[in-house]
Amino acid sequence: MKKRLYILLSIVLILFGILIYRLADIQLFSTKSFGPDNVNLLERSVAQRSHQMVLSTGRGQILSRQGEPLTNKKIFDIILFPKLNAEQTYKKISGVLNISAQSLQKKIHNLDQPAFLTSLMDTSIKSEQFNELKKMDLKGIRLMERFKNEDPQLAQHLLGFVRQNPALYQKRYDENSQKETVPVGISGLQEAFDPFLVAQEQEKLLFHVDGHGRPMFGFDLKYAGDNNHFYPAKIKTTLDVPLQKKAEDLFNQYEVNQGGLVLLDVQSRDVLAMVSRPNVDTENPYGNDSIRNHTITADFPGSVFKTVIAAAAIEKGLVDEPRSFNCSKGVYGEEEADRDLGRLNFKQSFAQSCNRTFAKLALELMESDRQIIDKYAKKLGIIGPVGWSGDVFRYEDFTQIPDEEQGTIWADESDRHVKDAIFQTAIGQKNVKVTPLAAANMMANIANNGKRQDARIADQILYQNGAEMASFSQKNNKDKEQQISPLTAKRLRSLLKLVTGNSGTASTLGELPIAGKTGTAELNIDDDEKIEFENSWFVGYFPEKKPKYAMAVVDLRHKPGAQTHHLQIYKKMADAILKKNE
């Protein structure tokens, strides 16, 4: 029994000795190189007591034409710490911010690490509230200004989205580094200008905490970040925030399921507003193709395309003499038309959108030149792409709208020789597709005496300190062979005004100084005779006498006969702009 006791005591002493040695090794002998992995225990100990709050991902901002940040907006915030007994502080904060003190204290009690108040309570802090809080003696919190990175609520499709995508980062920048975890632009301007906007380094606030996550205020808060005054850059867009908000409010009001709006400045071709529906599913942007921007997607324009046939017919002298067309007949000249319009001259045919007139004119034009429709579509700029492109900074052939689709006229070259195919093409059916952006730009070309220009979404690239890195100067197409004549543009303007007149297809817009063209395209999804969907368009410019704005509004893929609101949206948008400029 005594011998067993000695053996047990010896084992305990040996184990105790091993434990003492292990502790000594950890705390004294191997603090900088512990174990087979040579772990620096001192650094790990500091890291365990350290915490960081990201103030900015470091990504560049996108600005409105007024210089207002549209992404990475700077906000006022408060850092809250867990398990702090600061009841009076939280009551003061609740009083200033007009939030529930009980709810705030409950959420703070459940914290296991520091958090931003705006994220915790899903609220915002105004500048006057922030300044009021700064004057108070608030213990246990930190007042901060930071950049909030979130998906855009305004102009979603135009601005685009940012996501983490290591494979895309490596493909785009061909780098093997930790920067592969940096978020990249996956759509819109975020994608187009990603090389200028991509983050260089995060901005962080570093501090120490105790074992409960509470701050050790004996240590100074430290800032870690990139103090580069040049990068990342800022992109100053042409977007007019009040007009963008007005356009989006109208689309929400009328609950447009699929469609869009483009508003251009006629002289500069700046994109002032761009709306696409449906809204993007932020949880799954590519699900149901919600990330698609319908204003730069080519679709069937219907009678909007008759503007091209009209321009060609005017310049080729087919409508100079008095001439009438049988508009009681359908597009092929054999069947009865859906609308019995009787015999109409060229101007009346355009105003009332007579299919037979433009089918007949297109056939006559094609008999003399099989390329003529293509030529005039190009002269008017309706086929596109029309987004600004050129050399900028260190990039050649830079494109502001890389996802813009190019329109089409013919899918099969043999259709140029098929009468029925020509008839359908003349009225914007068959294989004719254009984007709303290109259609709006065509109207701007006509309103500006036929002068072709690119549509511009960004005006400048600015360094971080606000100095100009590059600008996107507008380029006029000076080749007169590539545009319609001023006289043709003038005659087209008179036709477009008739459309909104008393007998026109958009007479509901007549009380405002608007000129333009309606379009309805019929879509047969299964190649049978049944019409599955329709596209409804109105593209035009205003004010009619001295045009300043060109705009396209489209309601896409709606059921035949369904109530559409594209004309109401156009009217209310134009009315708001005209009243603003009075």
Instruction: Give 222-238 pLDDT, tens digit per residue.
Output: 555 656 667 788 999 99
Active site residue 290: no
**Exposed (0-12), middle (13-18) or buried (19+): which is 546, by Cβ within 10 Å?**
exposed
pLDDT band with cut points at 50, 70 and 90 for residue 349: very high
Max distance between CA atoms of the chain, in angstroms, equals 132
Please give the share of the chain, as a percent, with pLDDT higher than 90: 55
In this predicted structure, which of 121-135, 140-154, 512-526 has the lowest mean pLDDT?
140-154
Which pLDDT score is estimated for 46?
45
Mean pLDDT of 497-526: 92
* pLDDT number for residue 178: 53
* Mean pLDDT of all residues in 360-377: 96
Question: Residue 436: which of 304, 564, 292, 554 has the closest Cα?
Answer: 554
Highest mean pLDDT among 1-15, 53-67, 75-89, 306-320: 306-320
Average pLDDT, the chain: 86
- 474: alpha, beta or left, given left = phi > 0 and alpha = psi -120 to 50? beta
Least confident interval from 135-139, 434-438, 506-510, 567-571: 135-139
Give the residue-averaged pLDDT of 447-460: 95
As a 3-state breakdown, the chain gives helix, strand, coil percent values, each rounded to 5, of 35, 20, 40
The answer on pLDDT for 541 being more than 80 is yes
The better pLDDT of the pair 141, 221 is held by 141
Give pLDDT, residue 334. Answer: 86
Task: Give the DSSP letter string of 253-304.
Answer: HTT-SSEEEEEEETTT-BEEEEEEESPP-TTSTTGGGTT--GGGS-B--GGG
pLDDT category of residue 47 using cuts at 50, 70 and 90: very low
By mean pLDDT, which of 56-60, 173-177, 359-363 is the weakest? 173-177
Instruction: Please give the average per-residue pLDDT across 97-114, as a whole number.
Output: 82
Q: Is the pLDDT of residue 409 over 50?
A: yes
User: What per-residue confidence (pLDDT) applies to 95?
Assistant: 87
Task: Please tell me the predicted confidence (pLDDT) of residue 219.
Answer: 42
Q: Is the pLDDT reported for residue 48 higher than 70?
A: no
* Mean pLDDT of the 454-482 span: 85
Q: Specify the amino acid at residue 402.
A: P
Least confident of 134-143, 219-228, 439-448, 493-502: 219-228
Residue 372: exposed, middle, or buried by beta-carbon count in 10 A (0-12, 13-18, 19+)? buried
25 has a pLDDT exceeding 70? no
**Residue 15: phi, psi to the nearest 5?**
-65, -40
DSSP classification of residue 65: T
Q: Which residue has the higher pLDDT, 229 or 132?
A: 132
Task: Write the CB contacts of 286 (distance below 8 Å, at least 6 apart in sequence).
Answer: none
List C-alpha distances in Å: 209 to 83, 86, 125, 217. 12, 17, 26, 9
Question: In this structure, which CATH number among 3.20.20.10, 3.90.230.10, 3.40.50.2300, 3.40.710.10 belongs to the domain 241-580?
Answer: 3.40.710.10
pLDDT of residue 531: 73
Q: How many CB atoms lie within 10 A of CB 395?
A: 12
Active-site residue, from 56, 64, 187, 303 = 303
Counted residue by residue, the chain has a size of 582
Q: Residue 425 has what pLDDT? A: 97
Please give the average per-residue pLDDT across 305-309, as a whole number: 98
Query: In this structure, what are the phi and psi dihedrals at residue 40, rounded to the nearest 5 degrees?
Result: -85, 100
Query: What pLDDT does residue 169 have?
Result: 84
Token pair listed for 464: 């971080």
Most confident range, picked from 212-216, 219-223, 331-335, 570-574:
570-574
Q: How confident is the model at residue 8 (pLDDT cuts 50, 70, 90)?
A: confident
* pLDDT score of 393: 78
**Global pTM value:** 0.85
For range 473-500, the mean pLDDT: 87
Is the predicted pLDDT of residue 569 greater than 80, yes or no? yes
- pLDDT average, residue stretch 115-129: 87
pLDDT-derived band at 264, boundaries 50, 70, 90: very high
Q: Which pLDDT does position 41 carry in this prediction?
A: 46
**Residue 172 pLDDT level (bands cut at 50, 70, 90):** confident
Tell me the three state secondary structure of residue 116.
Answer: strand
Judge whether residue 275 has pLDDT over 50.
Answer: yes
Three-state secondary-structure class, residue 251? helix
**How many of the other CB atoms lie within 10 Å of CB of 342?**
14
User: What was the pLDDT predicted at 33?
Assistant: 60
Token representation of residue 18: 């091993």
Winning range, highest mean pLDDT, from 125-134, 142-151, 173-182: 125-134
**What is the DSSP code (8-state) at residue 574?**
H
Cα–Cα distances in angstroms (integers) from residue 505 to residues 300, 310, 339, 488, 495, in the given order: 18, 16, 12, 22, 12
As a whole number, mean pLDDT of residues 273-290 equals 90
Residue 270 pLDDT > 70? yes
What residue spans define the domains of the chain?
241-580
pLDDT confidence band for 211 (50 / 70 / 90): low
Higher pLDDT, 200 or 326: 326
Strands (E), 386-431: 389-392, 395-399
Report which DSSP code applies to 163.
Answer: E
Residue 143: pLDDT band with limits 50, 70, 90: confident
Residue 40 has pLDDT above 70, yes or no: no
Say whether pLDDT at 204 is over 80.
no
383 pLDDT exceeds 50?
yes
H or E stretch including 144?
A: strand 141-148
287: confidence class by pLDDT, cuts 50, 70, 90: confident
